[in-house]
Amino acid sequence: MEVSELVHRVEPSPNCNDRKLPISMLVIHYTEMKPVETALDRLTDREAGVSAHYLITEAGEVIQLVSEAKRAWHAGASYWRGIKDVNSASIGIELDHPGHAGGYRGFEEAQFEALVPLVARIVKDHDIARTNVVGHSDVAPMRKVDPGELFPWERLSEYELCLSTPAKFEQADPFDNDGAFILALERFGYDITEGRKAIEAFERRWRPERIEGKPDAQLGAILWQLLLERDQGLAR
């Protein structure tokens, strides 16, 4: 296993196999397990059948579990921009955090400071587009809500490591009806099998202060602008 200077220790997980796709994505999760040793035990337990490439503790310790060359088992049943085997196409990072089930709260500064250089190195090494740095809820909206509405996506975007929420809008209310909005969500990359869940995932990422699960003019303007910028090649 190749280990970078950003890794503090290695705890190998047996839960991995060969990739079937080139790496094109990075998926951020939270563990929803405390203390961190509980999450580490599960991610390295053969019987559990789950893993990730990295686990970052709240104190900022970076633990590598699976080689980036291997397919870690972090995303489960998931989909993003036409890719159904997200595990094969992605690097998975777990953040030590109690999650929504354990008293949801903000993320620790030391953890974020450890995350930034790790993400920067990964996206550079694998040429991952900002549009493909996503949360677990983005790729599995029917099942997952992590890393949740308090994850500091905007701060991460300041380092140009993910997309930022658009500040200016070309269209104030661009979609004629809810169905048009949901189809646009699919075009952007989401699994729209359950429309309300897909909308909630979009809100959690792009309008975290208000999650209602139904389209409105503000959400439409955000989605339209994201699609426009991507089509213009400004969202790489």
Residue 229 has pLDDT above 90, yes or no: no
Residue 88, amino acid = S
Write down the mean pLDDT value for the chain. 95
Strands 62-64 and 54-56: antiparallel
pLDDT, tens digit (0-9, with 9 covering 90-100), for 168-186? 877 677 898 999 999 999 9
Of 32, 58, 94, 203, which one is the catalytic site residue? 94
Mean pLDDT for 92-114 is 97
- Residue 94 falls in the annotated catalytic set: yes
Handedness of CA 62, 63, 69, 72 (dihedral sign): negative
Strand partners, 55: 63, 94
pLDDT, tens digit (0-9, with 9 covering 90-100), for 107-117? 999 999 999 99
- Per-residue pLDDT band for 233 (boundaries 50, 70, 90) equals confident
Residue 167 has pLDDT above 90, yes or no: no
Residue owning tokens 């970052």: 56
pLDDT, tens digit (0-9, with 9 covering 90-100), for 66-94? 999 999 999 999 999 999 999 999 999 99
pLDDT, tens digit (0-9, with 9 covering 90-100), for 188-213? 999 999 999 999 999 999 999 999 99
For the record, the structure tokens of 58 come out as 């709240």
d(Cα 148, Cα 145) in Å, to the nearest integer?
5
Which residues neighbour 5 within 8 Å (Cβ) at sequence distance 6 or greater?
none
Strands 70-72 and 16-18: antiparallel
Residue owning tokens 């990075």: 26
Residue 111, amino acid = Q
Q: Is 152 exposed, middle or buried (0-12, 13-18, 19+ CB in 10 A)?
A: middle
d(Cα 96, Cα 14) in Å, to the nearest integer?
20
- Around Cβ 40, how many Cβ atoms within 10 Å? 20
